[in-house]
Copies of this chain bind each other. A is one copy, B any other.
Amino acid sequence: MKIREILGQLARGEISLDEADSRLALLSVAHIGEFARLDLGRHGRKGVPEVVYAPGKSAEQVRKISAGLIEHSGRAIISGLDREGWQDLATEFDGMVAAGNEAAGTLVVRGRDYEKPAGGGKVGILTAGTADVAVAEQARIMAEEMGCDVFRAYDVGVAGVHRLAEPLSEMVDAGVAVMIVAAGMEGALPSVVAGLVAVPVIGLPTSTGYGLGGEGVTALLSMLQSCCPGLVAVNIDNGIGAGATAALIANQAV
């Protein structure tokens, strides 16, 4: 309900001053966010769906919030699940699981009548190695849930630059509007890709690597230090964030 509507009802005497006051009070609370979203909404219905981040929540809390989300919005995306949590939740919502990847700790549950938004954006996702795939899959699921078509090429890492050329060409030909490049260790692949393509690249560092600068720290720093403009980064293992931003970018480019 809009502010102006309430004012109109009040001006027309359809509601009392007290009623208008309390409705406005109610509205003012949810106001800023909604207002801004509505404004942006004019550019198409491309909002980022709410994601249930499981760590630090009890199994019961995750279940209830997920159920609430399904009831409210038709779908729940849950991330950060460990193997056991993923299995339990998949069993709990048996028959409603629409997507997911156990290794990626991500699950999508949809209500019967839910229809995925038709974003139409095209997103490319690459990984440097096999160990980066689980994190990249988070990004894929998220982007697909936001209605994107995702083009994948995994394990095209920098140790063999030549392995990279073919999938890059194919994605470019397919018209991807943004590329997510997942890499751990020294994290050089996103820089190399950003030096070759003319679409924005989201560097997705993964927590692989050892010794000094391990656990993805060097990979993240490499992406931040890259001398290639056109490359931005998310935090280590944040596949959900990379996928969401990529979808926002790609859906606008349709």
A interface with B by C-beta (< 8 Å): 3-4, 7-8, 10-11, 13, 17, 20-21, 24-26, 28-37, 39-43, 46-48, 51, 53, 55-57, 61, 129-131, 142, 157-166, 168-169, 172-173, 175, 177-178, 184-188, 191-192, 195-200, 202, 205, 207-214, 216-238, 240-245, 248-249, 252-253
Contacts and interface: CB of A to CB of B under 8 A. Distances in A.
Given A159-B227, A238-B211, A252-B252, A232 B218 contact: no
Given A47-B198, A211-B237, 7 more contacts: A29-B163, A31-B31, A61-B130, A188-B192, A199-B252, A218-B224, A225-B235
Nearest to A8: B17
A207 B216 contact: no
Contacts of A20: 7, 11
A56 to B, nearest CB: 3
Contacts of A28: 3, 28, 31-32, 35, 162, 165
So how many copies of this chain end up in the complex? 8
A167 to B, nearest CB: 9
A229 B249 CA distance: 12
A245 B221 contact: no
Given A11-B11, A11-B20, A222 B211 contact: no
A55 B185 CA distance: 12
A213 to B, nearest CB: 4
13 contacts: A32-B162, A39-B168, A43-B198, A57-B131, A159-B227, A161-B196, A186-B188, A186-B226, A212-B221, A214-B225, A229-B241, A230-B244, A232-B233
Contact of A177 (B131, B169, B252): B252
A22 to B, nearest CB: 10
Contacts of A178: 249
A198 B165 contact: no
Given A29-B163, A173-B39, A229 B240 contact: yes
A37 B56 CA distance: 33
